[in-house]
């Protein structure tokens, strides 16, 4: 009997500690189609954090990236700031080095927004992020937790369902060329393959916007240039004349 009573009291005390803060909704879900050609667009999920205790609290939040495309950047905004890309906490080590110390001060029965944004950088996919909240003076006790799930241009199986790669606007220039060429700016082309007219691969190279591809040493003639995405899939094949 005494053992059961002690267990009940312990559970009650633990619940009382963890119930000082609530986060809502428990899962922030964003599932939609966006313009992937706008690489600066921020996909936003909105949540909040509430102090449900009778006293003022100074709170620290911490973000864990569970899974996400490698190109994505996250950003959290609370009532104090919108923080730098991929900043994982408001109190502690900063991503860029040094420390950050901007606790969220919440009086009893007050709220702070907890909004997370994703910069997709032209890449669709699924991302899950967990946010845990602690009292600054008790870094080992989780007071509240919620999850942000982003589904950007994907189908039910989390496969990219939509890309905005426009083949008509992806062009190589100058064409003809004597030494270098590049590709019109886009967020999709990750590598280039070059073949001569009989199908021999002459070059393969990573590509980022602005890169110049050197073909000065190639014999004059007609070549085929393949544009590939980050999965190695062919986005477009076009002709290049080397003079």
pLDDT per position as a tens digit, 138-180: 989 999 999 999 999 888 888 876 566 777 778 999 999 999 9
Question: Where are the alpha helices (H) located in the chain, listed in sequence order?
Answer: 2-18
- Asked if 154 contacts 161 with a C-beta cutoff of 8 angstroms, the reply is yes
Model pLDDT, residue 99? 83
pTM: 0.65
Cβ count within 10 A of residue 180? 12
Distance of CA 57 to the CA centre of its chain: 30
Say which residue, 112 or 1, is predicted with more confidence: 112
The partner residues of 195 in beta bridges, in order of sequence, read: 201, 224
Model pLDDT, residue 10? 43
CB-side neighbour CA atoms (13 Å) of 185: 4
When pLDDT is cut at 50, 70 and 90, the band that residue 48 belongs to is very high
Segment 98-119, tens digit of pLDDT: 689 999 999 999 999 999 999 9
Segment 227-243, tens digit of pLDDT: 988 778 788 999 999 99
Q: What percent of the chain has pLDDT over 90?
A: 67
Model pLDDT, residue 161? 65
Model pLDDT, residue 240? 96
Decide if pLDDT at 11 tops 80.
no
Segment 53-101, tens digit of pLDDT: 999 999 999 999 999 999 999 999 999 999 999 999 999 876 656 689 9
CA distance linking residue 215 with residue 242, whole number of Å: 8
Model pLDDT, residue 58? 97
CB-side neighbour CA atoms (13 Å) of 118: 31
Model pLDDT, residue 16? 46
- Asked if 26 contacts 110 with a C-beta cutoff of 8 angstroms, the reply is no
Helix (H, G, I), strand (E, B) or coil at 83: coil
Q: φ and ψ at 113, to 5 degrees?
A: -65, 150
Residue of 113, 39, 42 lying closest to 75 (CA atoms): 42
Helix (H, G, I), strand (E, B) or coil at 84: coil
- Cis peptide before 174, with omega less than 30 degrees from 0? yes
CA distance linking residue 54 with residue 241, whole number of Å: 75
Model pLDDT, residue 37? 77
Domains within the chain, CATH numbers bracketed:
22-152 (2.60.40.10), 172-242 (2.60.40)
CA distance linking residue 55 with residue 37, whole number of Å: 47
């Amino acid at each position: 009997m005494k053992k059961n009573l002690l267990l009940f009291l312990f559970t009650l005390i633990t619940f009382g500690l963890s119930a000082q803060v609530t986060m809502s909704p428990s899962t922030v879900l964003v599932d939609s189609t966006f313009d992937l050609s706008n690489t600066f667009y921020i996909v936003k999920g909105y949540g909040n954090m509430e102090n449900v205790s009778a006293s003022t609290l100074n709170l620290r939040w911490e973000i864990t990236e569970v899974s996400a495309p490698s190109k994505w950047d996250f950003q959290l905004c609370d009532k104090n700031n919108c923080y730098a890309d991929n900043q994982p906490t408001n109190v502690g080590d900063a991503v860029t080095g040094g420390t950050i110390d901007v606790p969220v001060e919440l009086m009893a029965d007050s709220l702070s927004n907890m909004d997370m944004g994703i910069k997709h950088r032209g890449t669709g996919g699924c991302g899950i992020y967990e946010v845990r909240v602690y009292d600054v003076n008790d870094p080992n006790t989780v007071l509240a937790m919620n999850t942000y799930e982003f589904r950007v241009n994907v189908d039910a199986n989390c496969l990219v369902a939509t890309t905005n790669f426009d083949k008509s606007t992806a062009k190589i220039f100058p064409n003809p060329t004597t030494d270098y060429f590049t590709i019109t700016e886009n967020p999709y082309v990750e590598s280039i393959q070059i073949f001569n007219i009989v199908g021999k691969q002459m070059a393969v190279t990573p590509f980022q916007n602005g890169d110049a591809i050197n073909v000065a040493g190639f014999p004059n003639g007609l070549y085929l240039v393949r544009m590939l995405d980050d999965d190695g899939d062919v986005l477009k094949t076009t002709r290049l004349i080397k003079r």
